[in-house]
Structure 1
Amino acid sequence: MLNEKKVSSSFIYFFGAFGGILFGYDIGVMTGALPFLQQDWGLESATAIGWITSSIMFGAIFGGAMAGQLSDRLGRRKMILISAVIFTIGSILSGVAPHNGSIFLIVVRVFLGMAVGAASALVPAYMSEMAPARLRGRLSGINQTMIVSGMLLSYIVDFLLSGLPVTTAWRLMLTMAAVPAIILFIGVLKLPESPRFLIKNNKLNEARKVLSYIRPKEEIESEIKQIQDTAKEEKLASKNVSWGSLLSGKYRYLVIAGVGVAAFQQFQGANAIFYYIPLIVEKATGNEASSALMWPIIQGIILVLGSLLFLLIADKFKRRTLLTLGGTVMGLSFILPAIINLVIPNASPMMIVVFLSIYVAFYSFTWAPLTWVIVGEIFPLMIRGRASGLASSFNWIGSFLVGLMFPIMTASMSQEAVFAIFGAICLLGVFFIRTCVPETRGYTLEEIEKIGENRQANKKTA
């Protein structure tokens, strides 16, 4: 019986986290497919390239917002199953897009993006509700590791398929995203529903059964009581809090801090590298982008290693210290190539790619995971649901705009100039961290809320 229980909990945590791999795979797969798609369709319009790439993030803006509300009605498990079905259908439809069917592909990828946005919201929520309290602190880091592992997997698949004929290569790359979606669907069929959802829907016996798979017997009743108390507080909060409350004096400081960090994470330009690195290498060296598919794999390995490093150092350094370090190095990595290019016009064109790798290395263990740690702990309970949703929306909007605008910007100015703009935004992000974001490491949620209240009180008396 003990062994069965152990296997059950491992199965639950593995497939609970598997959605992060699927999310990362779908985000990364277009990186390798795009150069082949451009060759096949003769795509030269920077706007069309930007929309095909970023349409998945546009859909994610809405998918993330809807998933939270629907999962409260239908359950976390059922919504993950629906997302897996959308992933599968969207991936297959992407692969069979009609020739020169840019509009068709954009619409399908918006549809697919809704599942991506849903997964980005549902997977952390499901995992945090299933895992015991002592493991929740690392969940943001583990989820980040799963996402970047999914991205790396997509880069490897793109590389392995790159020897096929142009038309077949990109279609198969996009269709292959259905494989992890089907694996997720089969695995989640056997997963239990979140005990928190069951308790909120007065299914106490089912909740006890689920908790018996993943908790010691003596902890089950106390956890049920705790979940019931929290659910009552949240119900009260939903009645008394409106969207306008987020910017009321009591909460304004913490809301601006959390939403600002989420927005800066994307506007700093990381996704310009992840989505367009083959095209960046092509522009820097003159070689075809389809022959530069080793570079995404290198970036993916750096991302995975950085996420593992974060798991080791997450609780050893202050949040603001890591974000300041990361943002400063990231900003300089973007700005220095432009300066060197001005001073030494004949500098090696690969210099920019080396600096981009430095950027990715520091991003991977600072801003990438820490953004979601801060968003998870900075908002007071009364506004947490709405504020977290707002932060997620701003993050996806930033991701969409960077994906859309990067090819348009590089069509009208040099890559070095475009990255220098992103570098300036990185340094603005550091200024924001130092002036507008409180330290949250080591503080309880109540103490963090008090920091916000004290800040507002000091402003009134100043």
Structure 2
Amino acid sequence: MNVMAKAEKKISSAFIYFFGSFGGILFGYDIGVMTGALPFLQADWHLENAASLVGWITSAVMFGAIFGGALAGQLSDKFGRRKMILMSAIVFMVFSVLSGVSPDMGEASAYYLIIVRMLLGLAVGAASALVPAYMSEMAPAKARGRLSGLNQTMIVSGMLLSYVVDFLLKDLPGEWAWRLMLGLAAVPALILFLGVLRLPESPRFLLRKGDEAQARKVLSYIRKNPADIDQELASIKETAKEERQANQKTSWSTLFSGKYRYLVITGVGVAAFQQFQGANAIFYYIPLIVQKATGQAASSNLMWPIVQGVILVIGSLVYMWIADKFNRRTLLMVGGAVMGLSFILPAVINWMMPNMNPMTIVVFLCIYVAFYSFTWAPLTWVLVGEIFPLAIRGRASGLASSFNWIGSWLVGLIFPIMTASMPQEAVFAIFGIICILGVIFVKTCVPETRGHTLEEIEEQGTNRGRVKASNPEN
């Protein structure tokens, strides 16, 4: 026991934050890998004219993630964030390998791959819910935006990694190329599993389960000042005491009670808008977008995903630099406005100048990605991780993640169908309008959370929720 205790004491805060956010690598790799694999898969299985089937293969992971996020959020309240992240890594490894060894059985192959990728999506959705919750509960209030932003840096690094892998494997025979692209996702899943084996459980979860000694030990790894540890423990215990006195039994209906409804609508709304704004249409289909704009084969356009990936990584680093210097609401509104204009302007220019350079739309997509990368992309998960009260955090984070994945699934599914029936500029203009609606939602519904402890956010949000419940006309 003493040997184990000494080993635990060697865990550094850097190790905890790195592997605590490493689940984003899985999330990002699987978002990006199909971008390069799809052109080869289409050619190998003769799916060039099967827009709906291509949409389902691409979006199957997101469909599974809808349920994975909700399930993991609920189970993490019972078993802990750490154990559920470990389980997610195992599921991810298994179904990544099964994706890469898909049998060649004609049209049945496509349905096999869709089912396997749906099951893989359970792990992707779980990671998207668990990592922000874990990171927000480990990070101090003054650095929570920056440290929670590590999740986004991991996500976009995973995307860039998948784009580079796709590019390096593109000269292999078509069948081997896409199989290796999909199967290699098991490697970061194995790294995550080995790293998380050494991670401690969240101190808030431990205290909720009555293990104050272990919660104090975990906080000692990541807080330098003993007075801060005592203050944080006291704050968490006070919140837990109020919950016990209220004798609350958290259920799905609890999320929409007058006390919590406001915060749940806020968190779920931001998560849904992030996807319905259309970012993943770019990330999943950029080679096909360039092909439609220029006429060049999609398989020869695999450098464009790398360009997008580099922009995303740089943007995530910019966010970590500015995260705790600007209000969350300000960044979301500025980012959403520029993103909306980046989608709408190509349609306007094309209407005024029908002979515009077809690459103009790709330039505007790069501007969109740049602003998305340091605003909506990281801040969605920061808000989801910090805005929900402890009593409902697991379930509410899971619900927000599920709505996020519903948007991602629908965008991935319908984008190839939409672009087959209307100009690309018109499709992106629709997404641009949704971006503007997202700005309005932030302006009217989202509270400012920068610099507040999780307990302060809970108190402010639930008080506002009570006011709204007692004055519904307001």
**Same structural fold, with TM-score higher than 0.5 when normalized by the shorter chain:** yes
Which residue is equivalent to 1:365?
A: 374
Which residue is equivalent to 2:14?
A: 10
- 1:108 pairs, out of 116, 131, 155, with 116
Per-residue CA shift, 1:217-237, capped at 9, x if unaligned? 835566555444444445566
Deviates most, 120-129 or 212-221: 212-221
Which residue is equivalent to 2:184?
A: 176
Unpaired segments of 5 or more residues in structure 2?
A: none
Distance in 2 between the 1:430 and 1:297 partners? 29
Which residue is equivalent to 2:45?
A: 41
Deviates most, 405-414 or 243-252: 243-252
Give the Å deviation of 1:333. 1.1
Deviates most, 222-231 or 293-302: 222-231
Cα distance, 1:194–1:98 mapped onto 2, change above 3 Å: same
- Assess if the C-alpha contact under 8 Å between 1:237 and 1:382 holds in 2: no
- 1:319 alignment partner AA: R
Which residue is equivalent to 2:327?
A: 318
Q: Secondary structure in 1 aligned to 2:248?
A: helix
Distance in 1 between the 2:389 and 2:88 partners? 29
Per-residue CA shift, 1:113-171, capped at 9, x if unaligned? 10111111222233333444543232331211111111111111111111111111000
Give the Å deviation of 1:325. 1.7
- 1:98 alignment partner AA: P
Deviates most, 42-51 or 208-217: 208-217
Matched, 1:298 2:307: yes
Per-residue CA shift, 1:67-94, capped at 9, x if unaligned? 1222233333222222111111111100
- Assess if the C-alpha contact under 8 Å between 1:378 and 1:440 holds in 2: yes
Give the Å deviation of 1:292. 0.6
Q: Select the structure with the greater relative contact order (CA < 8 A; seq sep ≥ 6).
A: 2
* TM score, norm. by length of structure 2: 0.88
Matched, 1:62 2:67: yes
RMSD over equivalenced CA pairs, Å: 2.8
Which residue is equivalent to 2:156?
A: 148
Cα distance, 1:84–1:423 mapped onto 2, change above 3 Å: same
Aligned pairs for 1:252-331 (under 5 A) are: 252-331=261-340
Deviates most, 344-353 or 253-262: 253-262
Which residue is equivalent to 1:78?
A: 83
Deviates most, 192-201 or 153-162: 192-201
Deviates most, 75-84 or 174-183: 75-84
Distance in 1 between the 2:58 and 2:271 partners? 21
- Assess if the C-alpha contact under 8 Å between 1:237 and 1:383 holds in 2: no
Per-residue CA shift, 1:249-303, capped at 9, x if unaligned? 5554444333222211111101100111011111111111111111111111111
Per-residue CA shift, 1:32-68, capped at 9, x if unaligned? 1111111111112111111111110111111111112
Q: Secondary structure in 2 aligned to 1:349?
A: coil
Aligned residues: 461
Matched, 1:93 2:98: yes
Distance in 1 between the 2:140 and 2:450 partners? 20
Unpaired segments of 5 or more residues in structure 1?
A: none
Deviates most, 221-230 or 16-25: 221-230
- 2:195 pairs, out of 182, 187, 193, with 187
Give the Å deviation of 1:191. 2.7
Distance in 2 between the 1:438 and 1:223 partners? 23
* TM score, norm. by length of structure 1: 0.90
Distance in 1 between the 2:415 and 2:398 partners? 26
Cα distance, 1:67–1:11 mapped onto 2, change above 3 Å: same
- Assess if the C-alpha contact under 8 Å between 2:147 and 2:320 holds in 1: no
**Aligned residues with identical type, % of pairs:** 72
